[in-house]
Chain A
């Protein structure tokens, strides 16, 4: 018999939705509620409410939703996949819809209805939608609703990485720190969500016609709606936001239940849910503390590392101010001559670091005894430049130096410092009283302090309360040690399996620690770290995190009581060291009374990079400009140019096609300015022009170029250089060339000195992917033959076949030979230029930095101007390929089988023989091969007394982290210079 009522229960990652439909399929009841991770309880509560209205009813019932799967299994209630449930609901309610976009707490889904039904979900990496918006709101210190309100008053949109939440976050943070308008940031956040959905999910299928928008965020946030409508070009008729949006999936679930669900009495349903057993899949660890006594012993031990205090109201004498304008927090310390604390402050900067700091300085002035003289001041952190300019601080120092100073104050023998802040994990090894190596987390693993905080809030706790819960948890869950997005779903699974909030809190602490030790530091054992370890950063104030760290290492560490203030304290110590007889030139109390500033944005016209600038005006002609990569935008004159091989190579490649073009030509061939062409363009240009073709290259890369081809990218986790290729192909097609030529090459040119000479799989076969995913390409307009450049006769034969329609066969051998020559000429010119740069740099007393990457890293959209940043620090730049020929490959522990990568080893080896050179390895995010080369290059350099610096780059256009690393590198190099030269280590060649 058919039941009168059907019940759909949608258990999402953050909410529970219930819907009841009657025999005709009408919604007679619905409810939407956040579950704060208490899944079973919330479902039971909702069912009890239903029971009150329908005390004796029998329902056909079904469960759906990402957190519903486990519950359905253990309760013995049927389950329907949530995208499918949405599909059923749409079929019933909005049969004329062409596509559906649904954003949930952590999933994004799309359903295409016309032209072949297709249901899709985001992949495992592209998580974070509703939860992402919540995170961003937390970052700004406001609610999601306030974020929405702000976004409606935006004037401009900043590009924010749209791949995943963590990436976007590292774009947003510096914008905030540099004083970008919050309204604009808010709108940019929504735009990032839209871009993520469109690029990550549509993957080549156009979203058009009537589009139905579902899910909580799309229902509640009008700014997000606006962004979607604008991006997809939809008018009000075509963009449908149904009133039932938040419970739409639950409604679909009820429809499914009506057709296929089992029927139960409401009493039974409640019973089934209540008694549903958690599965035992859950992996747990040991409790952090077994007893209160153990905890107290721990607290006592750490209490020893504290500073003295002095009263700011009564103290008279000299004082020193240290400021740490971190990414999410602001820290200030005012100390006396003998290192006692007069004033300290730690708080979230709520996206407005300058306001925060000036407020605090104002407070210091008002509380300070008139007998105090501030003799020195220093600032560090993301907001360093802004604060220094705004408040006339005496010194700006790099964070690593500040932290080392502070740590050495507590533990003169310190050999390892780990700092976990809101957004960064920083680790330094100390050797011979100087920083020996630095490890920073990469954009992907930013599971740091702000991560716990966001989680605590999502679960309805404040951070202190939440971490306290973890201390005595009996079975901390193992949540893995990956990035935030992955951890979100691990937590989801743990909740599903019945873990308590206590267990999750303890599990998160341990995840952060494992992430730091195994992913950032990459240690195998505690001995890899050091004997005297100082931990700091606000996150270590959390006892659960500290304890997890000690447990994982199996040894005790030092946590100064001012753990969160160490950067600021280090600055104060630095200011004290540098102080002379004059007082600090810090802004005076009177000036501060009238201190205001305005900010606006502009694009720099200094060069083709068109950096996006933030201009902050402090009045009286004082202003601060950020966002620029070189000095030009900073309003400074272009000082004498620092030689830079990146620029030379880039210009040479671009200029290749400007010469040797035939006046009359038999056809136009398009060559994409991407991947391998950044090195082999001279070869192909010469080959084709000699055969009487005109060559055209695609325009220079840009963000817009990326968007141009975005819809044809099938794999969202491939490296950015590969993704850009799609835009270059579209660009060439638009230029109307006769055909695009892009060969497939398993092998690159054999340069000897290696086990083999492959290309990486992406460089080797990308043309196959392009033709399979760009409907505009076919075998006539896209010629992509296989060949091996090492085998001349093969090249001649293959080119003969490829160009058989053009009747050029006889001239190919000559053209091929000239092409080889052209390539060699180009390569020689690079080496020659490098030698010039080295000579010039040495004459000018400059350090030389080898930026080691791949040929395509000269693309400015890929390197984001890192080479300019290096130049701006006064160092000359050369490249790995220019010096690889000067050394032979050292003994390696890996198979050396890729041409481009084998250059890294030889270049690194060469650098170790040159006292004034250091190497920076550029790694594109997602490059699996650099997982192999990175460790090896590090070993070559470090075992021979050089520093290793790796910079990971992606579509993120923010050089904040790179800047810190480069400045730390400079600081370390300067320190090394001051010491007597080490005895050279004899190494067998």
Chain B
């Protein structure tokens, strides 16, 4: 699983290559194109998109939803097949978590929890694909077909903070939206200003409550990113440093990682449910 055809690469180059994104964006001179080195990518700043992680993210999400829809269209109440049972068990698992954790009426929460759980699970599971298979093929294709030396191609979307923060910030916007909807703007601001110490301590309350509020989406996104990034990095270190010994080491770490993959998807889903449930509580 060592880098294919990359004897000249140092371990550092190998890891940097694997941690870089295939970036498409606006170069400093104003024209749009792919970044051919990490330096070029960072010069693009905000006006760039990670084609690899974004593409995998959309592909996995679309595959999951279309597949579920296909199974759902053929689903029969009286005579479910094996695949239907499998999908239904996921559905029921999520549905039960939602009905336990979410005590208000909102038909969006269930589908959102299902989307988060399965989508994040699939994105995390990409971490279990050996680190050089798809990345190696893509690098070869990039070099020989497009003349793109050392083309990076990251396949685990949740090791990209843009992906995890994109989701957690969307959820943060929903939290604010539903808070204002159910508590009123006054109730929402009141919770920030008058808790926990009453109206004579407003500045102090704000100092506590605003970071608390902001910490939710940031910790939500960074927790997922950090876990997966660390896992990925360890796979890369094993692949880059251990030579032949990487085979058992990869196996051991992959087994641990099998626990991390669904656990982080589950945590992300549960926290979303809990945060949104709190947003639906009337002001007190």
Query: Is B one of A's binding partners?
Result: no
